[in-house]
Amino acid sequence: MRWIIDLEGQHPIALDWARDYFSEFDTSQLAWIRVDRGRGKNNGAYGRCWYPNRRIPFYRISCQVPGGFPCEIPTRKSPLYFSPDGSHPPLPPGTRFGDHVRDLRTGREWYRVIGSTRVQDLDEAIVWVLAHEAFHFLRRSRQIPGRNTEIEADRFADDRLLFYRTGR
């Protein structure tokens, strides 16, 4: 696996944390991890995990951390499902309603729930977005348990960020 780092000469300590974290897993199917400042389209932190395909038979992780910091990263939370009487549980503190969704096949309805995670600086942004994308790689390659969803990836990233904050 190759690391591609382009942070304009900076070497955040989160990169050392990330290398150490990935050393616990089989990365033989991971071609590269890229961490850079982004392409100027978004703020904060975002990324992508590419799965193997016929043309490129390896996973690839790309993380962009343009800043500014501190910033809020929108996170997906567990949905609020409607009861047969039309009611739903209360919105958890610190969250807001997302889309109202109705499954046309089953008739089941729910609200998506949006929260946020505040990252204080470049290091925390790298940890959060890299952990989120690592979840997709690690889950799809069956190295960790769980369902490969955005809700689970956000929860995993929040957990890794908390571990990073308390472990340094």
HEC string for 93-157: CCCEEEEEEECCCCCCEEEEEEEEEEECCHHHHHHHHHHHHHHHHHHHCCCCCCCCCHHHHHHHH
Q: Of 158, 155, 162, 123, whose CA–CA distance to 17 is shortest?
A: 123
CA–centroid distance for 23 within its chain: 19
103, 50: one domain: no
55, 133: one domain: yes
CATH number (domain holding residue 34): 3.40.390
Structural domain that includes position 91? 82-115
Q: Does residue 77 lie within any of the structural domains?
A: no
Local confidence band at 43 (pLDDT 50, 70, 90 cut-offs): confident
Q: Does residue 132 lie within any of the structural domains?
A: yes
29, 89: one domain: no
**Helix 122-140 vs helix 13-22: crossing angle, to nearest 10:** 20
59, 90: one domain: no
> Cα–Cα distances in Å, from 85 out to 16, 21, 33, 105?
52, 47, 48, 19
89, 151: one domain: no
Number of domains in the chain: 2
The alpha carbon torsion through 12, 14, 17, 21 (nearest 10 deg) reads: -130
89, 64: one domain: no
Q: Which residue has the higher pLDDT, 168 or 133?
A: 133
CB-CB contact of 59 with 51 (8 Å): yes
66, 127: one domain: yes
94, 35: one domain: no
Share of the chain above pLDDT 70, in %: 99
Q: What is the pLDDT of residue 53?
A: 96
92, 142: one domain: no
pLDDT at 41 over 90: no
Number of residues that make up the chain: 168
